[in-house]
Amino acid sequence: MSTRNHDEERLGKLLSALPAVPAGLVAAAKELPRTRHELDRIVELAAADAEFRRALVDDLETALRAGGHEPNRFVIEELRRRFPA
Amino acid sequence: MDEAQGVSDAGDAGVLARCRGGDEAAWAELVDRYSRYVYAIAVQAFRLSPADAEDVFQETFTRVYERLDTLRDDEAFRPWLAQLTRRLCIDRLRVGSRDTELDEASLAEATDDELGRLEEALAVRVALESLSENCREILDRFFTRDQSYRAIGEALELPPGTIASRISRCLGRLREQLEGRKAVAVES
């Protein structure tokens, strides 16, 4: 095998070395700036509204939907951490 | 600076500065550039399950977003990211091995070679981004998506007999890109 072919073979292997990432994961990571804004907005709202805060603790996802939010997994996990049931 | 680092870090400083300024498109660009690398560290170097790798991936980018202001040297972004991902993988393995002692030194030794290979692969992927759309497409289909000459020919409306020579030509251009970037990294 020539040096050129050997180089090509090695380059090909390196090109295959990084696997594709599930598309949803990449999309969620790209959404992080917006997700953080949404999270901050919900936390502010909860700080100002005791009823909403209680609703979050009782049933997080229902309270969010009732408030017009469609949170992703990151927001839900972070809110669960901040407002444990 | 090692060569792989010099190649993969090219252009990070500008993107990072835009990210700090709240530019969402820059953040998306950063995620695109490094998502395969982060995921590969989790699934290939540390052999995490898909579910654990997803958690590590999400946690890594969340921490990067939150801590970007603490990074002192933008040229050190790639090693900083690798170290962060590595730490999160080890934490994940520790949680999964509560009953047995996790030997971090052996784990570091076992993963070092693979991490070096992934760094090199990242450098190649960054260089790939500078090629023409046609070359990117054909190399990605053949090497990443594992498509046959025939499938590539059908998708790109090219005679299957020309695919091998086009792949070879695009690999040649990729090699030139890498060699050019390495020369710049060594000079600087």
CB within 8 Å: A15 and B124: yes
* pLDDT tens digits along B102-121: 677 777 777 888 999 999 99
- The answer as to whether A2 is a domain residue is no
Q: What is the ipTM of this complex?
A: 0.78
- The answer as to whether A70 is a domain residue is yes
B28: contact with A, CB 8 A cutoff:
yes
The count of domains in chain A is 1
Specify whether the CB–CB gap between A29 and B61 falls below 8 A. yes
* pLDDT tens digits along B65-107: 999 999 989 989 999 999 999 999 999 998 877 666 667 777 7
- The answer as to whether A39 is a domain residue is yes
Written as one letter, the residue type at A18 is L
Architecture of the structural domain at B131-188: Orthogonal Bundle (1.10)
Question: B30-33, long-range: CB within 8 Å, 24+ apart, which pairs?
Answer: B30/B64, B31/A26, B31/A29, B31/A30, B31/B61, B32/A26, B32/A30, B33/B126, B33/B129
Chains A and B: how many Cβ contacts under 8 Å?
89
CB within 8 Å: A15 and B118: no
The whole domain housing A35 covers 22-82
Which residues in chain A are closer than 8 Å to B32, comparing Cβ atoms? 26, 30
- The answer as to whether A27 is a domain residue is yes
Which residues in chain B are closer than 8 Å to A16, comparing Cβ atoms? 143-144, 146
Q: Any idea which fold B1-129 has?
A: Rna Polymerase Sigma Factor; Chain: A (1.10.1740)
Whole-prediction pTM: 0.80
Task: Quote the distance between the C-alpha of residue B182 and its chain's center.
Answer: 17
- The answer as to whether A1 is a domain residue is no
* pLDDT tens digits along A25-59: 999 999 999 888 888 888 898 889 999 889 988 88
Domain residue extents for chain B:
1-129, 131-188
